[in-house]
Amino acid sequence: MEQIFFQDVYAVVRLIPQGRVTSYGAIAKYLGAKGSARMVGWAMNSAHSLPDVPAHRVVNSAGLLTGKGHFGSPTLMQELLEAEGITIKKDKVQDFKTIFWNPIEELEL
């Protein structure tokens, strides 16, 4: 049960700098599963067991906190992001493209 995908997703998410966010699609693409962003999100479901995996820094391509409902509280994700210096409005990341952290460019660079 190596669960390679999980390991990879965790590794990337764990590398996300504080105050930055990334999208499922970006991670999926970095993993090579470009067409299956769902896998990334699903992997996050298991990430609950990992304290080093800031799932709250991972949002969808629109910058919406789609997974907020899976945290302890529906507002927990927003609270965590705001604590990182990220501005959240209506469950959406402001300046998403500005704080967006692209693993492909950052890691491959």
Q: Which residues bind DNA (CB under 7 A)?
A: 3-6, 23-25, 28, 33, 35-42, 44-45, 47-48, 55-56, 58, 60-62, 66-67, 69-71, 77
The SS3 call for residue 99 is: helix
d(CA 97, CA 76): 22
Q: How far is the CB of 87 from DNA (least distance, A)?
A: 19
Q: How far is the CB of 86 from DNA (least distance, A)?
A: 15
Q: How far is the CB of 31 from DNA (least distance, A)?
A: 9
Neighbouring residues of 29: CB distance < 8 A, sequence distance ≥ 6: 104
Q: Where are the beta strands (DSSP E) in 1-109?
A: 22-23, 58-59, 88-89, 92-93
The SS3 call for residue 21 is: strand
Six-digit token string for 51: 């304290």
Residue closer to DNA by CB (options 50, 106) is 50
Q: How far is the CB of 109 from DNA (least distance, A)?
A: 21
